[in-house]
Each structure stands twice: as structure tokens, then as C-alpha cells.
């Protein structure tokens, strides 16, 4: 939104009246701070609600043109559908619902990159099939056939080839199907069918299930944190609705200034929730009211609350402790082995000495016996 500020700065000149300048400044501030996704969704829901109430008040165009009936029915259908989802989203603060619902929405949002890849692949296959000009199908029919094949696994080779099976009446009054004559696209359609089935229907779809499951496992570890954040967001929204002036109808879109750095990587911030000027003129005498919000000063602070991160740290500490214990045990074993080796060497030396002594004794006995035999004893 920096370009809007530059445009406003360029338009501001000596020929612009103060009122128009004030309006441009307010418009720039509104576009910079109020155009969030949540506000756009709320504006769309309110527009549908007004349109739906209008249709109910005047009655549907039953006797009118066909397109008027279709527009009225579509408006009512979208309005009711949106309201049901709005009611479901409003229950996210309840633990029974929000503890499991919020991780589901976050996991789906995390797979947006993979969804873009799948959409790109499907669009490429659709255009390839459409450019083959098989049969008299238009782009809509070609896209629907590719959608059935890639995402649902529903296919008919004859239908993909643009052919319709014939039915023949047999002699016994039985109706039997007869395969039509293949066209020049048969080999191309068959090869494309095998490639798309293996590459998209089997590989990408199973990979998408794995990515979605992995994303849900990661987000589920932060379910308690996400539930607390959702409850705080709901408190801020309802607090804003209680204000008499629309100065805080937005859901805190601007980054609140840090008030004081706290321990554990958190800081205390304030969000403006009054109808007074955002400049906060202290001399005006107007009462300034704020909602104080505890926000993470570091983006990784929320990750510290994750059970997965906690288990990773604990496992790292356990591994470190086991490694130290193993090194200690190995060192002691080496010392004992060295001592045993030295004792074995000493024992071998003593054994050799004993053997020498025994041999000396044997030699002495032999000498004594030989002398006794010489003496005739």
C-alpha cells in the first residue's frame, strides 16, 4: 500500500483544498489499515445479507425473467450457505468445536502451495485435451472430463475419445452393446490416460493426502495456542462492536507499537479501541481507551509452545545425556580393560617365572639322582 501513499503525496499541492486533502488522507489510511481479508469477508457477507433480505421482502421473481429467478435463487443460496459457515466460525471459541476445527482450517491453508501445483497441472492437461479437438466437446466438457479423471478417478475411454457405444438388438430380443470404431486419436488418448492416471490420480492425490496429514500433525501440536489466540481475537472483535463509534471496527489490522519488552520473548502491545483520533492528542481532553494485548516479540515464540518442539528438545537432551553416559561407560570400560591387560601381562610373567623355577627344580633333581646313581646308592 506504499504506492497509495506516494500517489496521495503527489496529488497534494497548492491547488488542493484542505477538505479534499483530508478526504484523500482518510482514504489512504482506510486502504492501508482497514482492507484486511477479514473485513473484506465481512463486507461481502453484509452485502449478501442485504441482498437476501431484499429478495425475501419483495419476494422472489417467480413470474419474471429466467435470469432474474436464477439470480434471486443464487443470492438466497449463497446467503444461507455463508451464514451457516459464519455460525460455524463463530463457535471457534468453544473448546469442543474450536480445538479441532481451527487446526483443520490452518492445515488446509498450509497446503495452498500444493493446491496451486495441482491446479496448474490440471489446467495444462485440460488445455492439451481441448487442443486435440476430440469430438464436438467445448472447453467446459473437456475440463469436466479431465476433472473426473484426475481428481475422482472416474473415466470412460470411449467418452474421452469422443465416441458413444452403439446398442444392437440381437435375435433373441436382447439389447447388446457394441464398441464403436476407434479413431486416429486412440493411441494418444490411451497413452495420455495411462500417464495422467499414474502421474496425477495416483501420485499427486496420494501425495496431497500425505502433505495434508503432515500439515495437520504440525498444526495439531499448537491447537491450544491457536485456540487461545482465537478466543483473544473474538474478545477484541466483540469489544470493538460495543463501541458507539466505528473507530475500531477493523480487527486490529495495523501493527501495534511495543509497550514493554517482557521475559520469555513476549511484549505488551496496545490496540486502539476508541472513536477518538488515532494520533491520540492528549491536549484534546478526550478519553483514550485501549485493549492491551500480549503478542509474541519473536515469531518463534509461538513455536516454543508446540508439543512437537518440546518433544524435539527433550529428545535432544536425552540423546545428549545418553551420549555422555555412553562415553563415560566406554571410558571406564577402557580403563578396566587396560587394567585387565596389565594384570594378564603380569600373570604371564609370573607364570614364566614359575615355569623357570620348576625347570630349575627338575634339573636339580636330575643332577641329584645322577650323583646318587654314581655313588651306587
> Does residue 189 register a pLDDT over 70?
yes
Pairing of strands 175-178, 258-261: unpaired
Higher pLDDT, 106 or 280: 106
Highest mean pLDDT among 102-106, 271-275, 310-314, 370-374: 102-106
Strand partners, 292: 270
Average pLDDT for 6-24 = 52
Q: Give dist(CA 332, CA 352) in Å, integer.
A: 30
pLDDT (tens digit, 9 = 90+) per residue, 167-179? 776 666 777 777 6
Q: Give dist(CA 161, CA 183) in Å, integer.
A: 8
Please state which of the ranges 28-32, 205-209, 230-234 shows the lowest mean pLDDT: 28-32
Q: Give dist(CA 88, CA 102) in Å, integer.
A: 11
pLDDT (tens digit, 9 = 90+) per residue, 17-68? 555 665 666 666 555 655 567 777 778 888 888 888 888 887 755 555 667 7
> Does residue 350 register a pLDDT over 60?
yes
For the chain, domain boundaries = 95-221, 224-279+287-305
Q: What is the pLDDT of residue 296?
A: 54
For residue 257, what are the CA distances in angstroms to 109, 280, 294?
28, 13, 12
Q: What is the pLDDT of residue 243?
A: 55
Give residue 249's pLDDT band: very low, low, confident or very high (50, 70, 90): very low
Give residue 308's pLDDT band: very low, low, confident or very high (50, 70, 90): low
What does the mean pLDDT of the chain come to?
Answer: 74
pLDDT (tens digit, 9 = 90+) per residue, 109-118? 888 888 899 9
Pick from 108, 211, 193: which is nearest to 148 by CA?
Answer: 193
Q: What is the pLDDT of residue 181?
A: 75
Q: What is the pLDDT of residue 357?
A: 87
> Does residue 193 register a pLDDT over 70?
yes
Q: Give dist(CA 320, CA 327) in Å, integer.
A: 11
> Does residue 348 register a pLDDT over 70?
yes
Q: To the nearest whole percent, how much of the chain has pLDDT over 90?
A: 3
> Does residue 250 register a pLDDT over 50?
no
> Does residue 157 register a pLDDT over 50?
yes
Average pLDDT for 181-200 = 84
> Does residue 123 register a pLDDT over 60?
yes
Q: Give dist(CA 152, CA 48) in Å, integer.
A: 32
Q: Give dist(CA 225, CA 233) in Å, integer.
A: 12
> Does residue 352 register a pLDDT over 70?
yes
Q: What is the pLDDT of residue 282?
A: 42
Whole-prediction pTM value? Answer: 0.53
> Does residue 233 register a pLDDT over 70?
yes
> Does residue 316 register a pLDDT over 50?
yes
Q: Is 178 helix (H, G, I), strand (E, B) or coil?
A: strand
Asked whether the CA dihedral 345, 350, 351, 356 is positive or negative, the reply is positive
pLDDT (tens digit, 9 = 90+) per residue, 297-307? 554 555 555 56
Q: What is the pLDDT of residue 175?
A: 73
Q: Give dist(CA 225, CA 106) in Å, integer.
A: 12
Amino acid at each position: 500500500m506504499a504506492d497509495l501513499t506516494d500517489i496521495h503525496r503527489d496529488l497534494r499541492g497548492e491547488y488542493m483544498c484542505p477538505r479534499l486533502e483530508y478526504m484523500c488522507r482518510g482514504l489512504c489510511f482506510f486502504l492501508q489499515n482497514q482492507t484486511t481479508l477479514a473485513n473484506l469477508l465481512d463486507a461481502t457477507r453484509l452485502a449478501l445479507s442485504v441482498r437476501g433480505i431484499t429478495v425475501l421482502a419483495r419476494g422472489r421473481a417467480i413470474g419474471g425473467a429466467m435470469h432474474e429467478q436464477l439470480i434471486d435463487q443464487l443470492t438466497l443460496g449463497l446467503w444461507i450457505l455463508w451464514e451457516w459457515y459464519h455460525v460455524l466460525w463463530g463457535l471457534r471459541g468453544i473448546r469442543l468445536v474450536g480445538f479441532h476445527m481451527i487446526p483443520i482450517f490452518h492445515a488446509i491453508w498450509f497446503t495452498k502451495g500444493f493446491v496451486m501445483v495441482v491446479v496448474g497441472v490440471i489446467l495444462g492437461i485440460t488445455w492439451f485435451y481441448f487442443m486435440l479437438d476430440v469430438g464436438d466437446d467445448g472447453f467446459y466438457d473437456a475440463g469436466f472430463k479431465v476433472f473426473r479423471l484426475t481428481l475422482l478417478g472416474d473415466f470412460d475411454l470411449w467418452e474421452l475419445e469422443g465416441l458413444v457405444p452403439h446398442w444392437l438388438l440381437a435375435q433373441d430380443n436382447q439389447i447388446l452393446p457394441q464398441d464403436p470404431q476407434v479413431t486416429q486419436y486412440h493411441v494418444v488418448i490411451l497413452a495420455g490416460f495411462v500417464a495422467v492416471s499414474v502421474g496425477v490420480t495416483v501420485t499427486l492425490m496420494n501425495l496431497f493426502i500425505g502433505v495434508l496429514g503432515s500439515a495437520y500433525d504440525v498444526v495439531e501440536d499448537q491447537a491450544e495456542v491457536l485456540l487461545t489466540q482465537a478466543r483473544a481475537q473474538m474478545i477484541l472483535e466483540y469489544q470493538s462492536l460495543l463501541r458507539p463509534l466505528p473507530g475500531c471496527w477493523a480487527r486490529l489490522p495495523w501493527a501495534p507499537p511495543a509497550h514493554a519488552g517482557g521475559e520469555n520473548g513476549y511484549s505488551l502491545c496496545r490496540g486502539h479501541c476508541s472513536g477518538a483520533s488515532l494520533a491520540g492528542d492528549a491536549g484534546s481532553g478526550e478519553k483514550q481507551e485501549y485493549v492491551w494485548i500480549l503478542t509474541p516479540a519473536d515469531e518463534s515464540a509461538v513455536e516454543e509452545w508446540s508439543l512437537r518442539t518440546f518433544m524435539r528438545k527433550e529428545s535432544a537432551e536425552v540423546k545428549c545425556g545418553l551420549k555422555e553416559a555412553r562415553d563415560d561407560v566406554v571410558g571406564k570400560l577402557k580403563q578396566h580393560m587396560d587394567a585387565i591387560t596389565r594384570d594378564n601381562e603380569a600373570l604371564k610373567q609370573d607364570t614364566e617365572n614359575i615355569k623357570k623355577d620348576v625347570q630349575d627344580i627338575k634339573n636339580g633333581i636330575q643332577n641329584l639322582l645322577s650323583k646318587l646313581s654314581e655313588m651306587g646308592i
